[in-house]
């Protein structure tokens, strides 16, 4: 191999308890197999001859390969001592949209660039979000709880038109759901960092004004990453400000909401129902009280992963950025070192 070729280390992770990925299906869905990488590379003949790469697993060749690597393509990796281990490293692409598992970025060199796979989840997340809101509108969390209790109770509902949906996080995940739900006549209030316009929203506010809209929410939809700004955003006080008929969906990060207080409110029927897709520990401990919480649906972090296409879509972003990297141009999907997304 020529010395002047760009060297890429591709790190895959075997699943193990308490780490990412958290099960075998997660491992399959997030891994970059050599044959798939080569097939994608064949679509970019102008790139192929300019790179060398190693598809690796865990720490098998981590130290020896990263010593000369210019680029790292990975989901999860050890950040401790990376400056010394990989002195030539210039760019890391994360095989996911979320990067909270490697944030804060105090381990980074100043000139190191991180990009993510933001955008690849939008279509699937939008459909999952629409489904979740409609399930809550049609009392499905309560109907499932009644089924567990062998109770046949008539629960009637109306169309979603006119209902107020507060969406916290209006990026690709939240924005995709907003387009779906607004087309059915729901009134959407978007909450984001800058207060910028979003298609389908009747109103947009910044995070610091969220208390103005929570009491009027028929549904609260969370689609934000974990950052210093979002951690603990939906705390006990804010959960208490929601009306008892409000339904909640969280596809962002568990740290954004006080799950223990949510659980107690669900048990007291002070929240209509909730659908949670993200948790601080995954898989959830078998002894967790969440399993037996009434009017709660637990989904195992599946809201936004496009099964079978996830890695292909990621590699599309990576290959297009690789072209820009070779041309010494600015990369797309860059992660803010300050905000972590």
Q: How far, in Å, CA of 279 to CA of 141, rounded?
A: 18
| DSSP H or E segment with residue 249 | strand 247-250
pLDDT in tens, 101-143: 898 899 999 999 999 999 999 999 999 999 999 999 999 999 9
- Residue 146: predicted pLDDT: 97
Mode of pairing for the β-strands spanning 219-222 and 51-57: unpaired
- Asked if 60 and 338 touch (Cβ cutoff 8 Å), the reply is no
In terms of Cβ atoms closer than 10 Å to its own Cβ (0-12, 13-18, 19+), residue 119 is: middle
Region 67-95: mean pLDDT is: 96
Q: What's the pLDDT band for 3 if we cut at 50, 70, 90?
A: low
* pTM of the full structure: 0.89
pLDDT in tens, 229-279: 999 999 999 999 999 999 999 999 999 999 999 999 999 999 999 999 999
CATH code, residues 6-120+306-326: 3.40.50.720
Q: Structural domain boundaries of the chain?
A: 6-120+306-326, 122-298
3-state secondary structure of 308: coil
Class level of CATH domain 122-298: alpha beta
Q: Is the pLDDT of residue 1 over 60?
A: no
The yes-or-no answer to whether 6-120+306-326 and 122-298 have a common fold is yes
């Amino acid at each position: 191999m020529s010395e002047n070729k760009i060297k890429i280390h591709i790190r895959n992770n075997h699943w193990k308890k308490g780490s990412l990925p958290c099960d075998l299906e997660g491992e399959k869905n997030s891994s970059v197999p050599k044959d798939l990488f080569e097939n994608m590379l064949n679509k970019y003949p102008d790139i192929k001859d300019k790179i060398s790469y190693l598809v690796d697993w865990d720490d098998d060749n981590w130290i020896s390969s990263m010593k000369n690597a210019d680029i790292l393509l990975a989901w999860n990796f050890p950040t401790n001592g990376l400056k010394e281990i990989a002195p030539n490293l210039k760019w890391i692409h994360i095989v996911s949209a979320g990067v909270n598992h490697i944030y804060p970025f105090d381990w980074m060199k100043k000139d190191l660039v991180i990009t993510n796979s933001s955008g690849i989840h939008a279509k699937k997340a939008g459909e999952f979000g629409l489904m979740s809101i409609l399930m809550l509108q049609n009392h499905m969390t309560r109907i499932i709880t009644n089924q567990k209790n062998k109770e046949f109770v008539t629960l009637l509902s109306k169309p979603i038109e006119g209902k107020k949906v507060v969406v916290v996080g209006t990026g690709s995940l939240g924005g995709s759901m907003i387009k779906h739900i607004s087309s059915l006549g729901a009134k959407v209030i978007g909450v984001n960092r800058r207060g910028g316009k979003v298609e389908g929203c009747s109103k947009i506010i910044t995070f610091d004004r969220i208390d103005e809209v929570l009491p009027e929410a028929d549904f609260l939809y969370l689609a934000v990453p974990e950052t210093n700004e979002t951690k603990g955003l939906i705390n006990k006080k804010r959960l208490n400000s929601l009306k008892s008929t409000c339904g909640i969906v969280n596809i962002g990060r568990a740290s954004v909401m006080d799950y223990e207080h949510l659980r107690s409110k669900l048990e007291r029927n002070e929240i209509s129902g909730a659908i949670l897709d993200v948790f601080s520990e995954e898989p959830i401990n078998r002894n967790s009280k969440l399993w037996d919480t009434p009017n709660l649906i637990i989904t195992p972090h599946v809201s936004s992963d496009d099964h079978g296409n996830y890695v292909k879509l990621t590699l599309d972003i990576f290959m297009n950025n690789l072209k820009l990297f070779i041309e010494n141009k600015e990369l797309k999907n860059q992660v803010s070192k300050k905000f972590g997304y």
